[in-house]
Every structure is written in C-alpha cells, then in structure tokens.
Amino acid sequence: QVQLQESGPGLVKPSETLSLTCAVSGYSISSGYYWGWIRQPPGKGLEWIGSIYHSGSTYYNPSLKSRVTISVDTSKNQFSLKLSSVTAADTAVYYCARVGIVVVTATHFDYWGQGTLVTVSS
C-alpha cells in the first residue's frame, strides 16, 4: 500500500520560502511514476502546483513556475517542494500525491498524503 506523508513548518513569514517534504512508503520513487504537489486555500478549490518524474524532470503550473522548485531524493524515498516569495495568498493545505501514468503520460492522482496546513503570516 502506497503511503505519503507531508512534513514542514506550519507557519512561514511573508517574502520567505515555503519548504515541504513528502515521505513515500510502500513504493520506491526510483521505480517510476510522477510525484506531485497540489494545494487548497481554506474554503477554496484544488490547484496543481507541479510534478516531478522519477528521473528528475519537472513540470510546473505556469502561474507559479517562477517561484516553484520540486526536487526528489531517491536515497531517502522522498520529494520536496520549495515556494519562494510567499504571500498570504499562498496560505493553503498542501498535499503531495503520486501521479498515475499511461505508458509515460501523467494522467491522474491516485495516492494522496493527508495534507499539511501552511499559514503565511508575520
């Protein structure tokens, strides 16, 4: 059974960098699949942030691309999110997820972490 668990600070100051890690168990990241980050502001809808292929190739939401970095650490079986220059608008529950594939095309999010609330405030 694939399990994902987000971790990181719950409070980040404006203009600083938000950093989260997603630990994966039950599956080796290096074996395949894409791995992604999705966020949900309080009371609002879901927004795809970006994904990383097990090889390290990255794909980002165009609206966030200039501020986002996703990386993978196969030795620790985890992947990470960094979002720079945060503002109150970045306050959200952040989810990590495995991205299902058809051949090599990312298609859907099949396993999700429980989510972690990150608040941007001074």
Q: CB 73 → other proteins: shortest distance, Å? A: 20
Both tokens of 107, joined, read: 């298609």
Site for other proteins in 41-100 (CB under 8 A): 45-48, 51, 53, 59, 61-62, 95, 100
Spatial distance between the Cα atoms of 27 and 54, rounded to a whole number of angstroms: 12
Residues in the chain: 122
Spatial distance between the Cα atoms of 40 and 42, rounded to a whole number of angstroms: 6
Both tokens of 14, joined, read: 């404006």
The nearer residue to other proteins, 16 or 47, going by C-beta atoms, is 47
Is residue 106 involved in binding other proteins (CB under 8 A)?
yes
Burial class (CB in 10 A: 0-12, 13-18, 19+), 57: exposed
The nearer residue to other proteins, 16 or 101, going by C-beta atoms, is 101
Site for other proteins in 5-44 (CB under 8 A): 34, 38
| Interface positions with other proteins (CB under 8 A) | 34, 38, 45-48, 51, 53, 59, 61-62, 95, 100, 102, 105-110, 112-115
